[in-house]
Structure formats: structure tokens, C-alpha cells
Chains A and B, each alone.
Chain A
């Protein structure tokens, strides 16, 4: 009996159960004489089963409202309404707080005040972690690539840890924090004198336009914060002057937007 010639494509089709009876039988006969190949195809089938077991449950999840609403003009309204509500709320808070706006870049009036909550959370995170001597970060700067890859994956967007050596600060490391929009990346920097600065990076729920730098002070923590499309940033320190922090914020911004 002469043996049939079996191609790799046919083996794939066999793994997917897509060969007709005749070719299927030919592949089976071929595999019967090749246990290693047979084992390989068995594992391919197992992978398919595992994929289905892992992801088929998604089919039974309730569909988020926003997805159904993405079909049709009607869907546009809730988004704009939400932004408008933020704007109104922000204007009220802004009037009360009377914060300083640093118009170093073209300001976007639309989302002017979304960042206040972020500034507060960043200040709290700074106050919590920067005094730590033994455990200031979860992942140290010696594993910077891993740190950035990990935080990028968790935030679902590519991040970078700005390099602030020229400004006298080096990366200590970073950690993951909970935030109102999901996971937050938190990078810590330190100067030779031991002064610490932290950069809080969160994803924004909506794709905002750029905002100008803004400044807030929470207790003794100074915060410069800004929003750059899908990411919100807040740079905090309790130990630097406002001017120095502003320079660092500019350095961070310029590195992230070369």
C-alpha cells in the first residue's frame, strides 16, 4: 500500500475536524504510524477546547449598555450629557476652590475640572507611600521593563516611566493602585537628597482633549495634574517647592509628548 502524502494544511484541517471522510481516514492512517505527530495534533485539539472553555462564557455575559447604544445616533446623547454634567459640576467646584490655571498649553475648557478627584487621590497615594522606607514600591527600578510592561497591561494602554535624571531625580519603582476608573499606575522618583516625587497615571473614561497643567494642594502635598487624551497624570510631592514641581511636571509632559 502506498501511503498518501499529507500536508501540514491537511493536518490543521484535521485538527479542526474539517476534512471529508476520505482525507480524514488518510490522515488518521498517516498519524497512526507517527505517534509524535499524532500527539501534536491531539494537543492542538486540546488547545482549541481550552480556548473555547476560557472564552465561550463571554457569550453568556450580559452585554454592557454602552455597546448596544453604540449602534445608532441615539447613543451619542448619553456621552455628551455626561461630559456636560462634568463640566457643570467642575465649573461649580472650580469657582469654589478658585484654583490657579497654568495656561502653559492650550487649555481645553470642555473637561476643565475632571482632574480634581484625580489630584486628591494622587496626593493621598503620595502621602501614603512616599514615607515608606522599606516598601516604597512594589516593583523596583531594577526591573523597570517588567514594571512598565505590567502596568501597561493592567491599564490596557502603553505607559512609559519618564526619565528625570537630568532634573536630578531617578526612578525608585512603581506600584499598581485602585482608582475610580480602574487600575492606576504609580511611579516613584527620588533625588540624591532623598526628596521623593510620585507620578500618578490613570486612564480616563473618555478620550479627553488635552488640558493645561493645574495645581492643587492637599494638606502639605503639592500636585500638578493634567489630562492628555486617554490618560490623566498627577505629579505630587510634599518636599519640593511649587516651582520645582512645575519644572518636573513640564519635563514629564515633554517626555511623554516628544
Chain B
């Protein structure tokens, strides 16, 4: 099977990851389109016999980071940015209502690791290579992402209970 066909076959997986990464459907497909165009232009840099999927996700990660840096100066890029302390109080309209929003509140680096591990089921080594980070960083980001999501989910449950009890 040639590379083009293999790239085509990977599009649904890119779309799934992108949807979880950026939330909005159209924006996610824009990211996939940019990724595919970049991958197509850089295909000569891909080394045959290596993992095409990992390479493609690396391309997507780089495209996304560049886009975020260029257009969203407020997006949380790094690990050590504001913690959950800013979780809004009930009733201000920004309450985390669903998984989608909870994910969006994770720093991008943690979000990427969590999604590659859970959705793509990449090995920790593969994630480390795809994101160009040490495996120890993969593990710490994974751990932090999960714990934050867990606390957000607990917060939602607590808020929902409060609503019922009044």
C-alpha cells in the first residue's frame, strides 16, 4: 500500500483526535486539513518503514501548536499554568458542563498526552516520540491531566447535587 492511501486511511483517526483536541467540529477539520496539506508537502521527509501514524500525529501536533501560538495567545500551552482555582462558581455561565469543556480546560500539553494515550492508544514511548518529549514528561502530564479531569468531574457531580438539594 502506498503512503497516500495509508494517509487517507488515517484521516478518521486524525479527525477523532482533532475533535477532542479543539472541540469544535469545523475548527477540528481545519486542523486536519492543514495537517494533511503539511504532511503531503513534507512527505519526502517521512522515512519509509517507520511509523507513519506517529509521524502524522507529530505533524498535527506541530501544526496545532503553531496555530495556537499564532492565533491564541491566551491558550494555556504549558503545564504550569493556572490550576483549577479559577473554576467558575455556579451560575456564571461558564460552569464546566460536559466532558468536551472539561478537556478544553486542560493545558494543551496535558490534553495532547491524555488523548494520544486514551483515544489513539499509543504506547507511552510513541507519545514521547510524537510530541518530542521525554517519557517521564509523558507520565507526569498524563497523571496531571487525569487528576484534573477527575476533579472537574467531581466538581460537576457536586454542583449537580447542590442543584437538586437546593
Question: Taking beta carbons and an 8 Å cutoff, which residues of A are in contact with B?
Answer: 8-9, 11-13, 15-16, 18, 40, 43-44, 47-48, 50-52, 54-56, 58-61, 63-64, 66-68, 70-72, 75, 139, 143, 146, 149-150, 153-154, 156-158, 182
Contact = CB atoms under 8 A, between A and B. Distances in A.
B33 A51 contact: no
B29 A67 contact: yes
A182 B15 contact: no
B15 A61 contact: yes
Q: Is the interface of B mostly helix, strand, loop or mixed?
A: helix
* Dominant SS among interface residues on chain A: helix
B39 to A, nearest CB: 8
Contacts of A182: 26
Contacts of A11: 143
Interface string B15-33: 1100110111011011011
B115 A70 contact: no
B118 A63 contact: no
Interface residues of B, number: 48
Given A8-B139, A47-B149, A52 B119 contact: yes
B99 interface: yes
A71 B12 contact: no
Nearest to B149: A47
B99 A143 contact: no
Interface stretch (B3-11, B47-55, B77-85): B3-11
A40 B157 CA distance: 15
